[in-house]
Protein backbone atom coordinates (compact mmCIF):
# COMPACT_ATOMS: atom_id res chain seq x y z
CA UNK A 1 0.00 0.00 0.00
CA UNK A 2 1.19 3.48 -0.76
CA UNK A 3 0.84 6.47 1.56
CA UNK A 4 -1.98 7.83 -0.63
CA UNK A 5 -3.85 4.53 -0.39
CA UNK A 6 -3.44 4.46 3.39
CA UNK A 7 -4.66 8.06 3.63
CA UNK A 8 -7.69 7.23 1.46
CA UNK A 9 -8.49 4.18 3.59
CA UNK A 10 -8.23 6.16 6.83
CA UNK A 11 -10.33 8.99 5.40
CA UNK A 12 -13.10 6.56 4.47
CA UNK A 13 -12.86 4.49 7.67
CA UNK A 14 -12.94 7.31 10.23
CA UNK A 15 -14.85 9.81 8.09
CA UNK A 16 -12.29 12.58 7.74
CA UNK A 17 -10.96 14.30 4.64
CA UNK A 18 -8.06 12.83 2.70
CA UNK A 19 -6.10 15.97 3.48
CA UNK A 20 -6.60 15.43 7.23
CA UNK A 21 -5.67 11.75 6.91
CA UNK A 22 -2.48 12.62 5.02
CA UNK A 23 -1.61 15.24 7.66
CA UNK A 24 -2.14 12.63 10.42
CA UNK A 25 0.17 10.17 8.65
CA UNK A 26 2.84 12.83 8.19
CA UNK A 27 2.60 13.74 11.88
CA UNK A 28 2.88 10.07 12.86
CA UNK A 29 6.00 9.78 10.69
CA UNK A 30 7.48 12.91 12.30
CA UNK A 31 6.70 11.49 15.77
CA UNK A 32 8.48 8.21 15.00
CA UNK A 33 11.55 10.07 13.70
CA UNK A 34 11.61 12.45 16.68
CA UNK A 35 11.29 9.67 19.26
CA UNK A 36 13.94 7.50 17.61
CA UNK A 37 16.37 10.41 17.52
CA UNK A 38 15.61 11.39 21.13
CA UNK A 39 14.94 8.12 22.96
CA UNK A 40 16.29 5.49 20.59
CA UNK A 41 13.13 3.38 20.65
CA UNK A 42 9.39 3.62 20.13
CA UNK A 43 6.84 0.97 21.14
CA UNK A 44 3.49 0.87 19.34
CA UNK A 45 1.13 -1.46 21.19
CA UNK A 46 -0.04 -4.35 19.05
CA UNK A 47 2.36 -3.42 16.24
CA UNK A 48 5.91 -3.65 17.57
CA UNK A 49 9.03 -1.79 18.61
CA UNK A 50 11.26 0.46 16.52
CA UNK A 51 14.83 0.66 17.90
CA UNK A 52 18.13 2.29 17.06
CA UNK A 53 20.98 -0.20 17.29
CA UNK A 54 24.70 0.45 17.08
CA UNK A 55 26.87 -2.07 15.26
CA UNK A 56 30.59 -2.42 15.93
CA UNK A 57 33.31 -1.97 13.36
CA UNK A 58 34.41 -5.29 11.90
CA UNK A 59 36.54 -6.86 9.24
CA UNK A 60 34.88 -8.09 6.06
CA UNK A 61 36.01 -9.50 2.76
CA UNK A 62 35.49 -8.18 -0.76
CA UNK A 63 33.82 -11.14 -2.51
CA UNK A 64 35.23 -10.18 -5.92
CA UNK A 65 38.89 -9.91 -4.91
CA UNK A 66 39.05 -11.69 -1.55
CA UNK A 67 40.77 -8.62 -0.08
CA UNK A 68 40.01 -7.86 3.58
CA UNK A 69 38.27 -4.54 4.21
CA UNK A 70 37.28 -2.70 7.37
CA UNK A 71 33.55 -2.15 7.77
CA UNK A 72 32.99 0.93 9.97
CA UNK A 73 30.67 1.10 12.98
CA UNK A 74 27.23 2.52 12.26
CA UNK A 75 23.75 2.95 13.66
CA UNK A 76 20.93 0.90 12.15
CA UNK A 77 17.18 0.83 12.63
CA UNK A 78 15.46 -2.36 13.72
CA UNK A 79 11.78 -3.26 13.95
CA UNK A 80 10.58 -6.12 16.11
CA UNK A 81 7.00 -7.17 15.45
CA UNK A 82 4.71 -7.63 18.44
CA UNK A 83 3.44 -11.12 19.25
CA UNK A 84 -0.13 -10.02 18.55
CA UNK A 85 0.86 -8.85 15.05
CA UNK A 86 2.72 -12.07 14.31
CA UNK A 87 -0.20 -14.18 15.50
CA UNK A 88 -2.72 -12.22 13.42
CA UNK A 89 -0.64 -12.28 10.23
CA UNK A 90 1.00 -15.70 10.45
CA UNK A 91 -1.61 -17.52 12.51
CA UNK A 92 -1.05 -19.18 15.85
CA UNK A 93 0.64 -22.54 16.05
Give the model's pLDDT for residue 35: 93
Nearest to residue 51, comparing CAs of 78, 24, 15?
Answer: 78
The domain ranges of the chain are 1-38, 51-93
Give the model's pLDDT for residue 93: 61
Share of the chain above pLDDT 90, in %: 92
pLDDT band at residue 22 using 50, 70 and 90 as cut-offs = very high
Residue 26 has pLDDT above 80, yes or no: yes
Q: What is the mean pLDDT of the chain?
A: 93
Give the model's pLDDT for residue 15: 92
Mean pLDDT of 51-79: 95
Tabulate helix, strand, coil % of the chain (nearest 5). 45, 30, 25
Q: By three-state DSSP, how is residue 66 classified?
A: coil
Amino acid sequence: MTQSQVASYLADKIEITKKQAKAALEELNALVVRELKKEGSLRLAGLGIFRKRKTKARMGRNPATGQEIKIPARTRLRFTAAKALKDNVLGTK
